[in-house]
Structure 1
Amino acid sequence: MPKNDALINKGVVVIGDQDDKIPSPIIVIGTARGGTSMVAGVLAKLGVFMGDRASHPVYEDVRLSEAFEKQDMAQTALIVKEYQTRYARWGWKRPSIIDHLDEVDALLPNARYVFIYKDILSIAQRNSISMLAEITEGMDRALSQYRKTLRFVRQKSPRAMLVSYEKASAYPEAFLSTLESFCGISPSQEEHQTALAFIDPEPEDYIEATRITKSQGKLLSCDSRRVSGWARYVHKKQHAEVEVFVDDRSVGVVVANEPSPGGGAPANEPCGFTFTLPAGESLSEDASVRARVVNDVVDLGNSPVRVG
């Protein structure tokens, strides 16, 4: 028997006065790794300006956010005025502003808010993968920030759309259609379909772009006693630690801080490494050798190699 569509929970609720049809800023509010990039990306695909320096896959307005976070309210107000002059519809996404909702409201009193809520364990696990954060601390932080949004909604009664990330992923058409109506957007069919295709519950490019352990490197050579290559972090400036495995057994860790060994390594960056096996260990003929940066999830290029 088919389900009554009206009885299906699609995880989208619109609140506040919706009679005012004048275009207004669209503020995306959520905790870090909580789905704000999905909402901001969808808005961008629908033609909403999300910032001069907002780019795939996070769509974050770095220019406006930097001025706001420096408490340079004069510069912040100038940027807002510029956006309002240049664009009929523009948006702002920055997860950290969830802790400054009253200040955002004072800056943009006529804003429309999209609050995105995600399963707190999922948020904490994503922060563990991307930022090596502790799981229960991440869950507690998400809960605390979500309580702030509820206090703001109760006190200010803003024009707002409350969205379940999980339900938006399960019913993307319902989420997208409600978002378009809430923001007063009339996209082309192509824009609508592009935005729909952007809704992905496991966006690999976003995960790759935001995890601090993301590394690059390559195994270059190995003999019976030594393994050499290069490795570096992509998103942080410190020497990478490389773990070496022989036949899938960890045999030790080495810091990649030697002069560039070539083989695709940056020419002026000390990121080479030479690992000498511990006493009593040796690489037998046909042994499998691989390496990866500690805490990364991907082996270095050329892994595995076989001795001989």
Structure 2
Amino acid sequence: MAANEGFFVENAAPLTDGARAAFCVLGMPRGGTTMTAKLLQAAGIFMGQSLPVTAEDPDFAKLLKDKAPDRGEFDALLATRFGAHRRWGFKAPYKNHWDLLDAIPDSRFVVVFRDVLAVANRNRISTSADLLSNMAANLALQTQLARFIAKSGRPVFMFSYEKAVLEPQPIITALQDFCGAGSNAATRAAMMAVIRPNDSEYAEVMDRLASNVSCNLDIVNPHRIAGWARAASGKHLNIRITVNGEAVAEVVADRPRDDLSRHFGDAGDYAFEVPLEAGLYAGKPLSVEVRDAGTGAVLARRAVPA
């Protein structure tokens, strides 16, 4: 019986010499996508310039934060990347526009899967998220990922974050081959150095982003979602709201509310309200998530049974 080395390649297709490729990193928020993007970077794949600690390409992050990104701008960015790099990639963990990703020419996907309890517990610690609601949201996202992989027909490298931490060598060797990076020992050593479980720098930055914001979901029902989000700086927040893993709105939390004004001693203009499509969620359980649209940081989650 073959050993379980923690990875699998769907629709395997070796990269030939000179072939171009666009690598897209997918996974759950706080599920190992930063490590994965850095692994590709260590393998010699261009992943963007001036990358933040999250390794998220600012050019793609800015475009893909929109609920309906401009297809012309997206295609132009792809053309620019292919014009400058034969092989390149980007990380897209927070807002997965499946139709856009499926349309990328010569694409190859690298998808990391992580224990949903570990991810949810990290969010509970850093953002006071509800553990079980967080687990449900991440399970829903993993289901979407599996469906996308099955539908895309593109080469996909899937691997377990936990296996990569415990036994990195087989996964790194296979990922080198998937990227067309050969078997260079120096490259392999650089990739091995990337695997740092519980990276303190990353955790500190993400926790700081979350801790500077207060957010609450006051109303979650099949008709509307309402609540408030307040940055410590007083700046109005652009937030993204998802229901059952699908984005439904991106709004600015700037509506005034008397109760918020009394509580915070200021204008109290931090509220938001989003109507939901009539009948779409009737009789269904709801898993709602609020994120900072700029950073991707989780601000609040709430689950409501059917």
**How much has 1:17 moved relative to structure 2?**
3.9
Pairing of 1:81-230 with structure 2 (within 5 A): 81-98=79-96, 100-106=97-103, 108-186=104-182, 188-211=184-207, 212=209
**How much has 1:197 moved relative to structure 2?**
1.2
TM-score normalised by length of structure 1? 0.64
**How much has 1:236 moved relative to structure 2?**
5.5
8 Å Cα contact 1:29-1:94 kept in structure 2: yes
Q: Does 1:53 align with 2:46?
A: no
| CA deviation string 1:7-49 (max 9, x = no partner) | 4322100110414532310110101001100100111122211
8 Å Cα contact 2:15-2:179 kept in structure 1: no
Larger Rg over CA atoms: 1
Tell me the secondary structure at the aligned position of residue 50 of structure 1.
coil
**How much has 1:238 moved relative to structure 2?**
5.3
Number of residue equivalences: 215
What residue identity is the alignment partner of 2:44?
Answer: G
Query: Which contiguous aligned blocks of 4+ residues in structure 1 show a shift greater than 4 angstroms?
Result: none
What residue identity is the alignment partner of 2:163?
Answer: K
Aligned mates of 1:184, 1:190 — CA distance in 2: 15
**How much has 1:170 moved relative to structure 2?**
1.1
8 Å Cα contact 1:115-1:163 kept in structure 2: yes
What residue identity is the alignment partner of 1:28?
Answer: V
Q: Does 1:24 align with 2:9?
A: no
| CA deviation string 1:131-182 (max 9, x = no partner) | 3321111101111111111111222222101111101111111111111101
The one of 76, 84, 87 equivalent to 1:78 is 76
Tell me the secondary structure at the aligned position of residue 25 of structure 2.
strand
Aligned mates of 1:166, 1:40 — CA distance in 2: 16
Tell me the secondary structure at the aligned position of residue 142 of structure 1.
helix
Residue in structure 2 matched with residue 8 of structure 1 by the alignment: 3
What residue identity is the alignment partner of 2:6?
Answer: G
More strand by share: 2
| CA deviation string 1:64-107 (max 9, x = no partner) | 22123331222221111111011121111021243x2222112x
Pairing of 1:30-45 with structure 2 (within 5 A): 30-45=27-42
Aligned mates of 2:99, 2:152 — CA distance in 1: 9
Tell me the secondary structure at the aligned position of residue 112 of structure 1.
strand
Aligned mates of 1:51, 1:161 — CA distance in 2: 20
Deviates more, 1:135-144 or 1:45-54: 45-54
Give identity over the alignment, percent: 27
8 Å Cα contact 1:53-1:60 kept in structure 2: no
RMSD: 2.5
Residue in structure 2 matched with residue 265 of structure 1 by the alignment: none
Gaps of 5+ in 1: 1-5, 216-234, 240-256, 258-308
Shift in CA distance, 163/91, structure 1 to aligned 2, threshold 3 Å? same
Task: Identify the structure with bigger relative contact order (alpha carbons < 8 Å, sequence gap 6+).
Answer: 2
What residue identity is the alignment partner of 2:110?
Answer: V
What residue identity is the alignment partner of 1:38?
Answer: M
